[in-house]
């Protein structure tokens, strides 16, 4: 073991020094001055060697953005970010590389262990430079080869702009137009990174696509843009984020995700979000303002599953536009807030086509001094004959310093529509805890057990390994919330 560690150390030193060298020169040339103006956007576009149409598109979005006001209708309260104090383009952040895992913040290390993340992964996530990274790149390459054989394109969006401009041009901004909202406009103007995924007709993607193993290639950006296109009769399951805590220094995250499901296609999009939530006093933490929307064509299906445990402020409504007849939209969500976190999340189901169906299951858990809101819209248009919706939003409160809010908007313009909505708010039953205690299960574990049961309907929707980690994550997030 000692030998191994020694070897690791040597390797660390070697890889690190090499990295350092290459990095420095890069950074000098790859920085765009702080602040946002047309020049910044032109420079971003030029750096990325983008075609003219994309630059025009960005500038148009920027113009729209300038005319917009930052939304304040959400049930969250935070100091507004200063958009002129942000660097909109920089090469991947030059993080201080750690010598080994022993140098890692012990608190973080503990969390890793609790989540059961493998040593290799821990190193990668913590930014410990080891050859594991090399390994993962090669893994990614093997995946890429396999996917390539099926005609699946899975790459960064910048790469897609270069390699498949016709696809990007055709679909970019079609579901979330730049003028959609304040943060979508900002994202459209300055996005620097993100993923692109294209599944050709009739192909069933053989593996869960994940931004997770792509992280090393591109680095996560502050303004991510994801575009997933599933052609006719295809299927893809896409994973975003990871369960490990991400100590990202970026304060503001304004991502846009667009999904397009053509006839008979199915997209399953799962997210686990665990950005830095700020400390126990509510200082710091990430603002997560995300616009996610999917467009369903005839007989297609889009399913959103999310487990939200991180971020200081979350503002996120993954939505489905059920345009095609017989299309299906689903939304499964667990949102946990603790300490001073605030989350305003939910979904929009817009029924346009006939016989469209949607299901909403939202489970909120609030502890500490946090505030959690469910905000949803179910809209059934004039032509949405026999549209059907079922919504269930439950909230669980722990302690009386937190708040739970439900804002379900239901707009019906069709007499054949069937809508059922139910919501409950309650706390964990004392008799349930007593029952567990009696059988030797300590209160903290009992809470985790009960919460997991409460979230089961949603966790069941996650891919296997993810679900296991998510369960542990719930327990970690709620630690210390029981007094």
Partner 1 sequence: MDLNGQILESKSQLLQTANGHDQIQDLRTKAMQVFENEGFPTIKHEEWKYTSLVPILRKNYSLTASAGKVSKEEVEKYSLKTDSYRLVFVDGGFSEEHSDLENAPFTFLTLSNALGSKEEALNLFGKIAPIEDQAFVALNTAFAHQGSFLHIPKGTRVEKPIELLYFTSKAQNEAPFFQIRNLILAEQASETQIYERHQNLGESAALSNVVTEIKVERDAIYDHYKVQNDQRDTALVDNTWVEQAENSFASVDTFSLGGRFVRNNLSFLQRGEHCESKMYGITMIGENQLVDHHTLVDHKVPNCQSNQLYKGIYTDNAKGVFNGKVYVHSEAQKTNAFQQNDNVLLDDLASLDTKPQLEIFADDVKCSHGCTIGQLDEDAMFYLKSRGIRDKEARAMLLYAFCMDALAGVKLEELKSKLKSVLAKKLGVELDFDL
- Please report how close the Cβ of residue 278 comes to partner 1 at its closest, in angstroms: 21
Nearer to partner 1, 229 or 335 (CB): 335
Report how far residue 393's alpha carbon sits from residue 104's, in angstroms, rounded to the nearest whole number: 39
**Least CB distance from residue 394 to partner 1, whole Å?**
9
Contacts of 297 (CB under 8 A, 6+ apart): 260, 261, 262, 263, 265, 323, 324, 327
Show the tokens assigned to 325: 């007849």
CB neighbourhood size of 463 (10 A): 15
Nearer residue to partner 1 within complex by CB, 116 or 429: 429
Question: Who's near 430: CB < 8 A, 6+ residues apart?
Answer: none
Instruction: Name which of 71 and 206 has its Cβ closer to partner 1.
Output: 71
d(CA 413, CA 332): 25
- CB 127 to partner 1: min, Å: 39
Cite the DSSP H helix spans in 191-313.
215-218
Tell me the closest approach of the beta carbon of residue 453 to partner 1, in angstroms.
18
| Cβ-contact 316, 288 below 8 angstroms | yes
For partner 1, give the closer residue by CB, 350 or 462.
350
Cα–Cα nearest to 213, from 277, 305, 120, 278: 120
Residue with Cβ nearer partner 1 (92 or 408): 408
Question: Rounded to the nearest whole angstrom, what is the least distance from the CB of residue 404 to partner 1 in the complex?
Answer: 5
Would you say 170 or 427 has its CB closer to partner 1?
Answer: 427
CA distances from 456 to 91, 161, 362, 422, 460 (A): 40, 40, 11, 18, 6
Under DSSP, the state recorded for 222 is S
**Cβ-based nearer residue to partner 1, 17 or 416:** 416
Judged by beta carbon, residue 131 or residue 479, the one nearer partner 1 is 479
- Residue with smaller CB distance to partner 1, 188 or 404: 404
Burial 41-70 (b: 16+ CB within 10 A, else e): bebbbebbebeeebbebbebbbebbeeeee
Spatial CB neighbours of 86, under 8 Å, sequence gap ≥ 6: 34, 35, 36, 222, 252
Residues 6+ apart with CB under 8 A from 470: 243, 272, 307, 334, 459, 462
Supply the minimum distance, in Å, between the C-beta of residue 271 and partner 1: 25
DSSP string, 311-328: -SEEEE--EEEE-STT-E
Nearer to partner 1, 221 or 364 (CB): 364
Q: Least separation, in Å, of the C-beta of 340 and partner 1?
A: 15
Cβ–Cβ < 8 Å for 473, 243 = yes
Residues 461 and 334: beta-carbon distance below 8 Å: no
Report the C-alpha gap between 236 and 132 in whole angstroms: 28
Nearest distance from residue 209's CB to partner 1, in Å?
37
Binding positions for partner 1, rule: CB under 8 A: 73, 382, 395, 397-427
CB of 347 to partner 1, least distance (A): 15
Smallest distance from the beta carbon of 341 to partner 1, in angstroms? 15
């Amino acid at each position: 073991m000692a030998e191994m560690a020694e070897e690791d150390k040597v390797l660390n030193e070697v890889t690190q020094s090499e990295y350092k060298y290459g990095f420095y020169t890069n950074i000098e040339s790859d920085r765009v001055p702080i602040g946002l103006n047309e020049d910044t956007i032109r420079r971003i576009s030029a750096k990325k060697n983008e075609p003219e149409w994309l630059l025009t598109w960005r500038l148009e979005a920027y113009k729209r953005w300038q005319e917009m006001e930052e939304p304040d209708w959400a049930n969250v309260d935070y100091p507004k970010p200063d958009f002129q104090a942000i660097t909109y383009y920089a090469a991947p952040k030059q993080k201080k590389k750690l010598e080994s895992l022993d140098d890692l913040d012990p608190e973080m290390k503990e969390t890793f262990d609790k989540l059961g993340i493998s040593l290799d992964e821990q190193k990668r996530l913590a930014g410990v430079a080891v050859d594991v990274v090399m390994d993962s790149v090669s893994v990614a390459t093997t995946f890429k080869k396999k996917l390539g054989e099926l005609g699946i394109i899975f790459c960064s969006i910048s790469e897609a702009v270069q390699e498949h401009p016709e696809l990007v041009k055709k679909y970019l901004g079609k579901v979330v137009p730049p003028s959609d909202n304040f943060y979508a406009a900002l994202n459209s103007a300055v996005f620097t990174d993100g993923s692109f995924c294209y599944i050709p007709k009739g192909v069933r993607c053989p593996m869960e696509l994940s931004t997770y193993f792509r992280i090393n290639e591109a680095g996560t950006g502050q303004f991510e843009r994801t575009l997933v296109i599933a052609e006719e009769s295809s299927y893809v399951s896409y994973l975003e984020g990871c369960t490990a805590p991400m100590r990202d220094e970026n304060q503001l995250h304004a991502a846009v995700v667009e999904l397009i499901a053509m006839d008979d296609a199915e997209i399953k999009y799962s997210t686990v979000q665990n950005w830095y939530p700020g400390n126990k006093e509510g200082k710091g933490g990430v603002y997560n303002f995300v616009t996610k929307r999917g467009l369903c064509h005839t007989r297609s299906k889009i399913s959103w599953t999310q487990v939200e445990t991180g971020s200081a402020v979350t503002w996120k409504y993954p939505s489905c536009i059920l345009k095609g007849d017989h299309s299906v939209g689903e939304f499964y969500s667990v949102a946990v807030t603790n300490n001073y976190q605030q989350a305003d999340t939910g979904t929009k189901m817009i029924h346009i086509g006939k016989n469209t169906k949607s299901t909403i299951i939202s489970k909120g858990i609030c502890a500490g001094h946090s505030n959690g809101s469910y905000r949803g819209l179910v809209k059934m248009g004039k032509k949405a004959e026999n549209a059907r919706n079922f919504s269930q939003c439950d909230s669980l409160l722990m302690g009386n310093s937190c708040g739970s809010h439900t804002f379900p908007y239901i707009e019906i313009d069709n007499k054949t529509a069937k809508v059922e909505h139910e919501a409950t708010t309650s706390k964990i039953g004392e008799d349930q805890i007593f029952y567990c205690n009696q059988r030797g299960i300590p209160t903290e574990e009992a809470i985790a057990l009960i919460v997991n049961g409460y979230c089961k309907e949603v966790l069941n929707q996650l891919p296997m390994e993810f679900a296991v980690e998510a369960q542990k994550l719930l327990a970690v997030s709620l630690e210390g919330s029981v007094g």
